[in-house]
C-alpha cells in the first residue's frame, strides 16, 4: 500500500535544508501548470487524544494532498499530541501542534517540512478560579501569536514559547488575564469571574447550551448565589424583582405557600392555564395544585388548605442556576406546555476540587410578624344600639341588672374603655361574672396567638471528578415551625448528579432528586368558620385570649369546645391543635441519559426521565366544630407520574470560513397519569379517633383519574455568518391524546435572528457591544383530558354514575399562541453599563374553555374554542458598575416591565363576557375590550358629577348592576438590586415593587362593618353620621345629603360585603425584599485547617413594606381550591419578615 508519510532515517538535520531548497526549485518549475493549495484553504477534522506524531501526521495526510517530511529523531523526542478539531483550517491545526511540541512547519507546494522552532522553551502551570478550583478548557495563548493550548481536566497546561514571552489566559465567564511566562517554575494563574462576559453560555430549550450572543430572544439567568442570598424557604421567592416580566402570585396561605409563576401577563381565560413551565435537568415538573376538597375561599364546605405544589419541594442548595425563557420564541421546542414561557433549572453537578470536595451549609430563619391591621382597642363589644336608662351605651355578658345581653355580637360598637365596670365573661365559671369587672381592652389578644417562626436547614454535599466523569451527592434536612402554633413541616432531600465517559465516544449520566416532606398540621385558610383568619376578624377587643386556651368546656373534653361569645366562631386553639391537616408527600425527579459521538460532527442524546409525586393527606375535624357537630374525617391519596423519553440528534459543522451550521432533530414521548382517591366520613362514633372505620355511616369514596399522552417531533437549524449574524429556525409537531382525532396533530414554527451590530458597523468608542434580535413563534396548546366525548362521573351510591354537566365537543381545535418579540442588548463604557430592552406581543386564540349554557339544554356549560387574548409589553434591564475600584466595588441592576392585556374576542352567545373566578362578591370578569384580570362587583350609585348617591335613610343607595371596579394587574413592576463589596465583605440590597392595580379585601369589609379598625372612629361619639354625598330628588336633580344615619348602620351599608368598590385598595407597594451581609474568610486566615473556603452571612427578607393596603400584605390572592385568584384577599394570614444566619464551609 502506498503511503504519503516519508521518514528520512539517515539524513541529518542539515540535509533537510538542501532537500527544502531542492523541493522549492522543483515546485517553482512546475507552478506554471499546477496550482497548489495553501494550508489556509484546507479544512481537517480529527479526534486524537495523546497520540504519537506519526499517527497525527498520517491522519492529516489522509484528509489532504499534503505530505509531511521530517527527521526521525523528532518522533523520539516530541511529546504526544492531542488534536481535537472539527472542520478547522489545517494551518490552525498545525499551530496547535506547534504549541504542544515546539515544532514549526514550512509549506512548499504539497510538502510540509517539519523542523524544531528556534528559541522555544517549555512553560507549565495550572489555571484556577478564586476558590482554587481548576478550570478545564481554559485557553492559554502566547501573546502576539497564534501559539496556544487549552488546559486539561485538572486545569494544567504545557506550552512551548519564545524568549520573554507573555501568556494571555481566557475562559468563558472569566476576565482575561496576562502573565509573564516564567520558565522553570510551575505557574498558578487565578482568573476572576466576569459576570458580564459577552460569550456567556446559557441553557436554552431542551437543555441545549448556547452562546448568549447567538440568541434571538430574551432570557435571564439567575445564578445560585444570587438566588440564595436571603435563603428563601421556597426557591422561587428568590426570583422576585430580579427578572423583568416575571410575576409570582401566592395566597400567603401557610408555610408551604404555593406560588403561581407567570411571564408576560395572562394568555389564557383559564386562571390555571397561565403557569410557566418548570424544567429540572430536562425533566418537566407539573406545578399544578390539587384541591383539598373545598373549592371556595369564601364560606365553603370547609376551608381550603395549601398542601403545596411540586415546585415548592425543590432544594435550594441543589440549584446551580435558573434560566428564564420568557416567550414562545425561546420555548417553542418544548411545545404546548411552554406556551407561557419556561424556567430551566440546572442542578449542581460534580467537579474536581482542591480539598475533600465536601460542602456543608447551615442556616436558621426567624419569621417575625411586623405588619398588622390597624385594629382599634378603644371601644369594646356591642351593637352600638344598646343604651341604659341614662342613654349611655352599656355592656352585659348575658342578661343582667344592667340590661339585656350584648355579649353575643361579633361587632365592636360597644362602650368606650373608660374605667367602667360591667358583668362580663368569667373563665373560672365559664359564664357571667358574679360581680361587675373592669371594662378593659386586651390589646394583644390577637398578636399573642402567633409566635416567632423558626426554620433550621442543613445541607451536606460531596463532589469530585476526573477527566472521565464527575459526581455530586447532596443530602438536606429542614425543620420548620411556622408562625401559627402547631403548624410547620419537616423536609428531607437527597440528590445525586453523575456522569462518566465510558469510552472515547460514549458518555452516560443520571440526575435524581428526591424530596420527602411531612407535616402534622398545615393551616386552613380563607374566610371560613374553621380558619384562623376568620377568628382574627371576629375577635373582640374586650376578650382575653387566655380565656380560650383550655379549648374544651369543663368536663366536656373532646365533646364541646369553649367558645363563649358565638357559635359561629371556632376556638382558635381548637383550630390550631385539634382541627389538623396532616401531610406526607414524596417526589422523585430524575433522568438517565447517554451522549454518543456518532461521528466528528454528529452526536446523539438519548434520555428517559421520571417525575413522580405522591401525597397522603388528612383532614381531622373534632366534635362541636362549626361545620361538623359530630366531627369529620377525610383521607386523600394523590399520585401523579409523568414519564418522558426523548432523543436529540445534533450536527455541527463549519461549512466554510464564514458560514457555520448547527442542526438538531429530536422527538419526545410523554405519558402522564393522575390518580386521586378521596374518602370521608361525616360524624365520628368515638371522638378523637380519626379512622374511616369510625364513621357513623359508611365512608363516601370518590376517585379521580386523568391520563394523557403527547408524542412530538421537532427540529432546529441554526446558521451563523462570520459569527456576526445568527438565524434559528425551529419546527415542532405534537400529537395529543386530549384533542379530537381530526385535530390532534398540530405543527408550529419559530424563527429567531440576532445581529451583532458592533462587529458590522463602526460605532462610537463608548459602545463596546450592540446586538439586535428579533423573534417570531407560533405555539399550539391542548387541554385537559376527557372533553371530546361523553364521560360519566362516579357517584357516591353503589353501581351508579353521574351524567356530565359539561357538554363535550368532538371537533374543537388546539389553542394557538403567536408571538413577536424584538429587542437590543448593549454594553457601554467598557461594559460598565449594560442594557437589555425588549418589546413583545403575544396573541392567543382558539382558547379551549367552558362557557355557560342554558340549563334547558341539559348541561350547565359546554366546551368551545372561544376567546382571543392579546398581551403587549416592554421589559428593561439596566446593569451598571458604578464603582469598580481594586478594594471597593458597587454594582446595580434595575428591572422594569409593563404589560398591556386585552381580550379581543369571546364566544358568541355569552353576552360578551367570561367569568374567570370569584371571591366573595368580587368577580374577575373578562369582557371584550377589557382584560383577563378585571374586577367587577357592586359599587356606589353616583351622580353625573361622581358624588355618592344616598337614599332617604341617609345610607348609600343600592346599585342595580355590577360595575367595573379596577384591575388586579399592576400598571408596571420594577426591581432594584445593589451589591457593595469591600474586600471580603459583601452587602446586597434588593428593592422591588409595583404601581397600580387594585385588591378587594374581604377582611377589610368585615373588620370595618364590625367596627374593629381605627378607621371606624368617625361618628362613634356622636352616634350618627351624615354621609358625604347627594340625594336624588323627584325632579331628577341632586341635592346634598343631610340625613343622619346611625353610625353602625352607616358603616354596615357603606362597607357591606357586596360593595367591592369601598373595600378595594390600591395594590401599589414598595418592599425592602432582601438584605444580606456576607463575609468570606481570607485564605490566609484559614491556614492549614483543611477548610478551603468559609463564608458567613446574616440576611433578611420582606423587612419593610410601603403600601396603602390595610391588612397584612398587598401581595396576596384568594385560594379557591386548586386555583390562585389574583386581586382578591379572602381571609389573609400574616406575612412575616424573616431574619437569618447562614454558614457555608468547604473542605
DSSP string for residues in 169-221: EE-TTB--EEEE--TTSEEEEEPPB-TT-TT-EEE-GGG-EEEGGG--S-EEE
Q: How far is CA 1085 from the centre of its chain?
A: 38
Instruction: Kindly report the pTM of this predicted structure.
Output: 0.83
Order of strands, edge to edge, in the sheet holding 922-927?
A: 913-919, 922-927, 934-937, 963-967
Give residue 1120's pLDDT: 86
Asked whether the CA dihedral 857, 860, 865, 867 is positive or negative, the reply is positive
The grid cell for 742 is 381530526
- How many alpha carbons lie under 13 Å from residue 246 in its C-beta half-sphere? 32
Give residue 194's pLDDT: 65
Give residue 617's pLDDT: 95
Distance CA 1051, CA 1006 (A): 10
Mean pLDDT per block of 10 residues along the chain (1147 residues) reads 36 39 37 57 84 86 86 69 85 83 81 73 84 82 77 82 82 81 82 63 75 84 88 88 91 86 90 88 82 77 84 87 86 80 89 84 96 96 92 94 93 96 96 96 96 96 89 95 96 94 92 95 90 95 97 96 92 96 94 92 94 94 94 95 94 87 94 94 96 95 91 93 92 90 88 93 92 91 84 77 84 87 93 94 88 81 86 96 91 96 84 85 93 96 96 95 95 96 95 96 96 96 95 94 96 95 96 96 87 94 95 91 89 93 94
1009 DSSP assignment: H
- SS3 sequence of 759-773: HCCCCCCCEEEEEEE
DSSP string for residues in 753-818: EEEEGGGTS---TTEEEEEEEEEEEEEEE---SS-SS--PEE-SSTT-EE--SEE--SS---EEEE
Specify the residue for cell string 430580579. 242
DSSP string for residues in 279-300: EETTEEE-------S---SBS-
**SS3 at position 691:** coil
C-beta separation of 860 from 869 below 8 A = no
Which residues does residue 6 pair with via DSSP β-bridges, in sequence order?
A: 69
Distance CA 923, CA 915 (A): 7
Distance CA 424, CA 446 (A): 19
Give residue 13's pLDDT: 36
Radius of gyration of the chain (CA): 36
As a dihedral over the C-alpha atoms of residue 317, residue 318, residue 321, residue 327, rounded to 10 degrees, the angle is -110
**SS3 at position 998:** strand
Give the Å distances, CA to CA, from 683 to 282, 552, 798, 978: 47, 19, 20, 57
Specify the residue for cell string 458518555. 507
Q: How far is CA 1042 from the centre of its chain?
A: 55
C-beta separation of 779 from 712 below 8 A = no
Which residues does residue 223 pair with via DSSP β-bridges, in sequence order?
A: 321
The grid cell for 467 is 477527566
Give residue 75's pLDDT: 67
The grid cell for 322 is 435558573
How many other CB atoms sit within 10 Å of the CB of residue 615? 20
How many other CB atoms sit within 10 Å of the CB of residue 16? 18
The grid cell for 673 is 397519569
The grid cell for 1002 is 374581604
Q: How far is CA 970 from the centre of its chain?
A: 19
Distance CA 900, CA 924 (A): 17
List of domains in the chain: 6-116 (3.55.50.30), 121-190 (2.60.40.4130), 277-369+453-530+579-933+968-997+1067-1146 (2.40.170.20)
Distance CA 899, CA 265 (A): 6
Specify the residue for cell string 390539587. 290
Tell how many helices (H) and how many strands (E) occur in the chain. Answer: 11, 67
Say if residue 363 is exposed, middle or buried (CB neighbours under 10 Å; 0-12, 13-18, 19+): buried
Give residue 19's pLDDT: 37
Distance CA 575, CA 137 (A): 60
Distance CA 1110, CA 970 (A): 18
721 DSSP assignment: E
Distance CA 928, CA 913 (A): 7
**SS3 at position 707:** strand
Q: What element of type H or E holds 1139?
A: strand 1137-1146
Give residue 1's pLDDT: 32
Exposure b/e, 734-764, CB count within 10 A at least 16 = b: bbbbbbbeebbebebebbbbbbbbbeeeeee
32 DSSP assignment: T
Q: Let me know how long the chain is.
A: 1147
Selection from 890, 886, 962 nearest residue 921 by Cα: 962
Give residue 22's pLDDT: 36
> What are the residues whose beta carbons fall under 8 Å from the beta carbon of 336, sequence distance 6 or more?
710, 734, 736, 779, 780, 781, 782, 814, 815
Give residue 77's pLDDT: 62
Give residue 446's pLDDT: 96
Selection from 500, 486, 515 nearest residue 592 by Cα: 500
Amino acid at each position: 500500500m502506498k503511503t504519503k508519510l516519508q521518514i528520512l532515517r539517515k539524513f541529518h538535520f542539515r540535509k533537510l535544508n538542501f532537500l527544502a531548497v531542492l523541493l522549492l526549485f522543483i515546485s517553482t518549475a512546475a507552478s506554471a501548470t499546477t496550482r497548489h493549495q495553501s494550508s489556509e484553504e484546507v479544512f481537517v477534522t480529527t479526534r486524537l487524544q495523546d497520540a504519537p506524531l506519526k499517527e497525527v501526521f498520517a491522519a492529516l495526510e489522509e484528509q489532504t494532498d499534503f505530505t509531511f517530511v521530517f527527521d526521525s529523531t523528532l518522533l523520539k523526542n516530541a511529546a504526544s499530541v492531542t488534536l481535537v478539531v472539527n472542520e478547522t483550517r489545517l494551518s490552525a491545526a498545525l499551530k496547535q501542534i506547534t504549541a504542544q511540541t515546539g515544532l514549526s512547519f514550512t509549506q512548499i507546494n504539497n510538502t510540509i517540512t517539519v523542523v524544531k522552532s528556534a528559541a522555544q522553551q517549555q512553560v507549565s502551570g495550572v489555571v484556577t478560579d478564586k476558590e482554587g478550583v481548576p478550570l478545564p478548557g481554559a485557553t492559554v495563548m502566547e501573546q502576539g501569536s497564534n501559539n496556544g493550548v487549552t488546559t486539561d481536566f485538572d486545569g494544567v497546561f504545557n506550552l512551548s514559547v519564545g524568549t520573554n514571552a507573555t501568556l494571555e489566559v481566557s475562559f468563558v465567564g472569566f476576565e482575561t488575564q496576562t502573565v509573564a511566562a516564567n520558565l522553570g517554575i510551575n505557574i498558578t494563574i487565578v482568573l476572576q469571574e466576569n459576570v458580564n462576559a459577552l460569550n456567556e453560555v446559557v441553557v436554552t430549550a431542551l437543555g441545549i447550551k448556547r452562546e448568549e450572543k447567538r440568541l434571538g430572544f430574551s432570557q435571564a439567568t439567575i445564578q445560585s448565589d444570587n438566588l440564595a442570598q436571603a435563603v428563601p424557604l421556597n426557591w422561587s421567592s428568590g426570583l422576585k424583582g430580579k427578572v423583568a416580566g416575571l410575576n409570582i402570585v401566592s395566597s400567603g396561605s401557610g408555610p408551604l405557600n404555593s406560588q403561581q409563576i407567570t411571564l408576560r401577563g395572562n394568555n389564557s381565560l383559564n386562571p390555571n392555564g397561565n403557569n410557566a413551565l418548570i424544567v429540572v435537568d430536562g425533566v418537566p415538573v407539573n406545578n399544578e395544585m390539587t384541591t383539598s376538597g373545598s373549592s371556595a375561599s369564601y364560606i365553603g364546605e370547609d376551608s381550603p388548605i395549601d398542601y403545596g405544589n411540586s415546585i415548592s419541594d425543590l432544594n435550594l442548595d441543589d440549584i446551580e442556576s435558573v434560566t428564564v425563557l420568557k416567550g414562545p420564541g425561546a420555548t417553542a421546542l418544548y411545545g404546548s406546555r411552554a406556551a407561557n414561557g419556561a424556567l430551566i433549572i440546572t442542578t449542581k453537578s460534580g467537579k474536581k476540587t482542591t480539598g475533600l470536595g465536601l460542602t456543608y451549609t447551615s442556616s436558621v430563619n426567624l419569621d417575625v410578624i411586623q405588619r398588622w391591621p390597624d385594629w382599634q382597642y378603644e371601644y369594646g363589644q356591642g351593637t352600638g344600639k344598646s343604651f341604659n336608662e341614662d342613654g349611655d351605651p352599656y355592656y352585659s355578658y348575658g342578661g343582667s341588672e344592667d340590661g339585656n345581653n350584648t355579649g353575643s355580637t361579633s361587632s365592636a360598637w360597644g362602650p368606650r374603655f373608660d374605667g367602667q365596670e360591667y358583668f362580663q365573661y368569667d373563665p373560672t365559671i365559664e359564664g357571667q361574672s358574679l360581680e361587675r369587672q373592669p371594662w378593659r381592652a386586651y390589646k394583644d389578644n390577637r398578636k399573642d396567638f402567633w409566635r416567632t417562626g423558626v426554620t433550621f436547614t442543613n445541607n451536606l454535599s460531596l463532589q469530585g471528578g476526573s477527566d472521565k466523569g464527575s459526581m455530586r451527592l447532596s443530602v438536606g434536612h429542614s425543620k420548620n415551625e411556622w408562625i401559627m402554633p402547631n403548624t410547620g413541616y419537616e423536609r428531607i432531600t437527597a440528590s445525586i448528579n453523575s456522569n462518566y465517559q465510558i469510552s472515547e465516544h460514549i458518555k452516560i449520566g443520571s440526575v435524581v432528586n428526591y424530596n420527602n416532606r411531612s407535616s402534622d398540621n398545615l393551616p386552613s385558610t380563607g374566610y371560613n368558620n374553621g380558619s384562623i383568619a376568620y377568628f382574627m376578624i371576629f375577635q373582640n377587643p374586650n376578650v382575653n385570649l387566655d380565656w380560650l386556651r383550655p379549648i374544651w368546656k369543663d368536663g366536656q373534653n373532646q365533646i364541646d369546645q369553649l367558645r363563649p361569645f358565638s357559635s359561629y366562631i371556632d376556638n382558635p386553639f381548637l383550630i390550631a391543635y385539634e382541627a389538623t391537616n396532616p401531610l406526607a408527600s414524596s417526589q422523585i425527579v430524575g433522568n438517565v441519559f447517554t451522549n454518543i459521538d456518532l461521528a466528528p460532527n454528529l452526536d446523539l442524546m438519548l434520555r428517559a426521565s421520571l417525575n413522580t409525586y405522591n401525597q397522603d393527606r388528612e383532614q381531622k375535624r373534632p366534635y362541636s366544630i362549626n361545620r361538623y357537630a359530630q366531627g369529620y374525617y377525610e383521607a386523600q391519596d394523590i399520585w401523579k407520574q409523568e414519564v418522558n423519553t426523548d432523543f436529540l440528534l445534533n450536527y455541527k459543522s463549519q461549512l466554510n470560513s464564514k458560514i457555520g451550521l448547527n442542526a438538531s432533530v429530536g422527538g419526545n414521548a410523554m405519558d402522564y397519569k393522575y390518580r386521586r382517591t378521596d374518602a370521608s366520613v361525616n360524624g365520628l362514633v368515638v371522638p378523637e379517633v380519626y379512622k374511616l372505620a369510625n364513621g357513623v355511616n359508611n365512608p363516601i369514596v370518590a376517585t379521580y383519574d386523568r391520563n394523557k399522552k403527547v408524542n412530538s417531533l421537532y427540529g432546529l437549524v441554526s446558521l451563523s455568518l462570520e459569527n456576526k449574524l445568527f438565524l434559528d429556525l425551529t419546527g415542532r409537531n405534537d400529537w395529543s391524546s386530549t384533542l379530537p382525532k381530526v385535530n390532534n396533530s398540530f405543527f408550529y414554527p419559530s424563527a429567531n435572528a440576532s445581529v451583532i451590530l458592533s462587529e458590522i458597523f463602526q460605532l462610537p468608542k463608548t459602545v463596546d457591544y450592540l446586538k439586535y434580535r428579533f423573534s417570531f413563534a407560533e405555539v399550539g396548546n391542548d387541554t385537559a383530558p376527557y372533553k371530546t366525548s361523553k364521560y360519566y362521573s362516579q357517584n357516591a351510591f353503589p353501581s351508579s354514575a353521574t351524567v356530565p354537566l359539561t357538554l363535550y365537543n368532538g371537533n374543537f381545535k388546539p389553542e394557538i399562541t403567536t408571538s413577536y418579540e424584538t429587542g437590543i442588548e448593549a454594553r457601554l463604557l467598557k461594559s460598565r453599563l449594560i442594557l437589555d430592552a425588549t418589546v413583545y406581543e403575544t396573541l392567543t386564540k382558539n382558547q379551549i374553555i367552558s362557557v355557560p349554557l342554558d340549563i334547558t339544554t341539559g348541561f350547565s356549560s359546554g366546551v368551545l374554542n372561544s376567546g382571543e387574548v392579546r398581551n403587549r409589553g416592554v421589559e428593561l434591564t439596566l446593569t451598571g458598575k458604578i464603582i469598580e475600584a481594586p478594594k471597593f466595588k458597587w454594582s446595580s441592576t434595575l428591572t422594569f416591565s409593563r404589560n398591556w392585556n386585552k381580550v379581543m374576542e369571546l364566544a358568541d352567545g355569552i353576552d360578551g363576557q367570561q367569568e374567570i373566578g370569584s371571591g366573595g362578591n368580587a368577580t374577575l370578569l373578562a369582557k371584550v375590550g377589557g382584560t383577563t384580570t378585571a374586577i367587577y362587583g357592586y359599587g356606589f350609585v353616583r351622580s353625573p358629577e361622581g358624588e355618592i348617591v344616598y337614599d332617604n335613610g341617609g345610607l348609600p343607595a343600592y346599585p342595580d348592576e355590577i360595575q367595573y371596579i379596577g384591575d388586579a394587574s399592576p400598571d408596571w413592576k420594577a426591581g432594584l438590586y445593589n451589591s457593595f463589596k469591600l474586600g471580603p465583605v459583601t452587602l446586597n440590597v434588593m428593592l422591588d415593587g409595583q404601581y397600580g392595580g387594585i385588591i378587594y379585601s374581604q377582611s377589610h369589609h368585615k373588620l370595618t362593618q364590625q367596627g374593629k379598625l381605627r378607621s371606624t372612629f368617625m361618628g362613634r361619639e356622636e352616634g350618627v353620621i351624615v354621609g358625604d354625598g347627594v340625594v336624588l330628588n323627584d325632579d331628577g336633580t341632586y341635592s346634598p345629603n343631610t340625613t343622619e344615619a346611625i353610625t353602625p348602620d352607616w358603616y354596615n351599608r357603606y362597607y357591606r360585603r357586596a360593595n367591592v368598590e369601598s373595600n378595594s385598595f390600591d395594590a401599589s407597594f414598595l418592599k425592602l425584599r432582601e438584605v444580606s451581609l456576607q463575609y468570606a474568610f481570607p485564605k490566609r486566615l484559614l491556614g492549614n485547617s483543611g477548610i478551603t473556603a468559609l463564608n458567613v452571612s446574616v440576611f433578611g427578607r420582606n423587612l419593610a413594606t410601603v403600601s396603602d393596603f390595610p391588612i397584612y400584605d398587598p401581595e396576596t390572592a384568594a385560594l379557591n381550591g386548586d386555583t390562585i385568584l389574583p386581586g382578591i384577599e379572602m381571609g389573609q394570614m400574616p406575612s412575616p419578615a424573616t431574619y437569618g444566619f447562614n454558614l457555608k464551609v468547604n473542605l
